[in-house]
Amino acid sequence: MEVIFDSSQQVFHLRNKKLSYLIQLERFGYVTHLYFGQRLEHYSGIAAYPRIHRDFEVESVEFGADVRDFSVGNLLYEYSQYNRGDFRHPALVLRHADGSTVSDFRYDRHEIVAGSPTLEGLPHAKVDGGQEAVTLKIYLKDALKSLELVLSYTIFEGQTIVVRSATLHNKGSETSRIEKISSFQLDLPPRQAELIHLNGTWARERFVEREAIHHGIKVLDSKRGTSSHHQSPYMAIVAPETTEHLGQALGAQLIYSGSFEMSVQMDSYNQIRLQAGIQSLGLDWELAPGESFQTPQVVLAYSNRGLNGLSQAYHDFVSQHLIPSRFRGVERPILINNWEATYFDFDQPRLHALIDQAADLGVELFVLDDGWFGQRNHDNSSLGDWFEQESKLPQGLVGLSDYVHGKGMKFGLWFEPEMISENSNLFREHPEWAIQTPGRSLTPGRQQLVLNMANPDVRDNLFQQISKILNQVPIDYIKWDMNRHLTEVYALHLPGQAQGQVAHRYTLGVYDLMERLTKAYPHILFESCSGGGGRFDLGILAYMPQTWTSDNTDAVERLKIQYGTSMMVPQHTMGAHVSAVPNHQTHRVTPLATRAQVAYFGDFGYELDLTKLPKEELESIRQQVNFYKQHRALFQFGRFSRLLSPFQDNLTAWMVVSPEQDQAMVLLAQTLTQAAMPLQVLKLQDLCPERRYQVKSEEQEFVATGAELMQVGFYVFPQLVGDYASRLYHVKALVD
């Protein structure tokens, strides 16, 4: 792993055993892109941009230079700027004190440092425990305005990952205003390519969309104050022939949880420009002399093994360099959440009955959801009042926690810290703490408003209230929810000229509170939630190692949701539960076995009333719990591969393989049964070709080599019977 600077070619070469990234210093100090892909042992200079003149393009901004073969607007830049000859989508837009918008950043110097940079106030990639990384920093200078732009590139040992970010420093005497600042830009040579992104809405998160890239600009974004259910901060650029298992793919994910934008542009000459960063709409950030602005990091990934190779690169990165180190490789407990069992209608006896039944079945964690605080008997009050509702819990949370722990289980609690109800003590005391625009009416969503997390007084109040609970009550797990997006974005504690900072400062405030709480209570397992998967991103995972994947617990819908989510993150970050039927979101009735087998591939749990189930279902749940405990490490930390897509077929299949390649679990699920169904040949992935494996389900059992299972495949026979049927295969290496 190294960063090499070839002064004769003026080329930076970042590389490890798997990956190379090449950057060219062009004449006049332009920094351009050459290559991102499979490791190169040597670079001879063949990717240098041809000296070509394009009509109606700026030839040079250098007065008197004979550069008719040099069109500024067509180079493949590492980071572009505005109003200086490149008419494509800019990465940076500044408005200076004199009203001008021209920027002219040129190469000034560089440095190569060991490790991965720490970003104050932002989640970021980490290197610890003997891991290795190296970072290249390229310093660009706008001499007229005394501005410095630092492009940061970090490469990790053993990863096909490059983490990038940008930092802008004002070293002059005048203020400049940031109207757009991207975390990265990647300009690619002409090619046929397709875009894959993850679109959706509440209860239908991260559905996979694939489309050809055409001339023009495609923008993927969120303006909601969070990364949102509707568009994930993820994109992949693939060759048309790329499949799950074959072909090349490039990916980009932001380590950020607020409003964002990602764009793909194909110019008139079929060159492709990728960008990602915080949302520019509404951004107006005053950068005074001596101040700096740090963008969130973006994680670039490369694969020459198709989309599975790309997602596995992200899985490894998240597991090793992002989630809190104390939870890396730590098995997650099987939980029961009372929400769909009771909603707000619970009392101590009803909870005790549910806890008793869960403990008897071997469940390891009981989570008390919404309704335990203030006067919260409906969703129209009490958010912001984080004190116990004694009428429901006469022995208090301490008594309930003691009861749960006495049953040999862990105890978890639900919070929604970022929200406030108009009907709450906190709002009556501090109405100015709610996000609101002067003179405009308040617009509640779900009968609640959003607290101004940009205000440190708000964060201090929340920390004190939550800490009081956590100091008094033995708590092992917290579910952190967020059920409303941001409107009328304005902060009453900031002056008018700073209102263009509020959306980003809100996100920074959320990170600050999460950082304080997770550091103060490191033993607590935090799970993030936002109406399910409405803020499932790499930024949140840096503080909270798992996320409730979706409020939609229907097993058939979860096939698509978990399939799409696996493009971004590993399965041990996904909350996946068995719920009651008819399902509360879709009203569908699916077999209990199918519900469990889909949910096995994540952080397993239950969302139903165990006290109302018949004995035969309780016995099935007991067996499910025991089975999951036996194979939990494989389900949560095995290498995940997608086999058959629910977006393309009636069948879905995926699998996990142990690091030693001695065990695997394979899920096959059917949406609807059909008459005279064709036979299905299923091919597996990531096994050892030479080893012999026993493949076993309730319906099939045989022995084959890994090579046969991956290259030849086997018939699924007998075929699956019935709507919403599933089958789980246990693949185990034989000892010869």
Active site residues: 481, 551
Q: Which two tokens stand for residue 298?
A: 């973006």
Q: Tell me how many helices (H) and strands (E) the chain has.
A: 12, 38
Distance CA 685, CA 687 (A): 6
C-beta separation of 326 from 372 below 8 A: no
Q: Which residues contact 528 (CB under 8 A, 6 or more apart)?
A: 480, 482, 535, 536, 540, 541, 543, 544, 546, 547, 548
**Which secondary structure element, helix H or strand E, spans residue 426, and what is its range?**
helix 425-429
Closest CA to 23 of 40, 47, 58: 47
Distance CA 33, CA 401 (A): 57
Distance CA 132, CA 668 (A): 38
C-beta separation of 705 from 687 below 8 A: no
Distance CA 506, CA 491 (A): 9
Q: Quick one: 714 exposed, middle or buried, by C-beta within 10 A (0-12, 13-18, 19+)?
A: middle
Q: Which two tokens stand for residue 693?
A: 């494996």
- Which residues make beta-bridge pairs with 436? none
**In terms of DSSP bridges, do strands 651-657 and 663-670 run parallel, antiparallel, or are they unpaired?**
antiparallel
Cis peptide bond N-terminal to 718, omega within 30: yes
Order of strands, sheet of 11-15, starting from the edge strand that comes earlier in the sequence: 2-6, 11-15, 19-25, 31-38
Distance CA 391, CA 387 (A): 12
Closest CA to 387 of 376, 378, 403: 376
Distance CA 670, CA 726 (A): 6
Distance CA 194, CA 237 (A): 6
3-state secondary structure of 120: coil
Distance CA 239, CA 243 (A): 9
**Which secondary structure element, helix H or strand E, spans residue 320, and what is its range?**
helix 306-321
- In eight-state DSSP terms, residue 612 is G
Q: Which two tokens stand for residue 361?
A: 């079945």
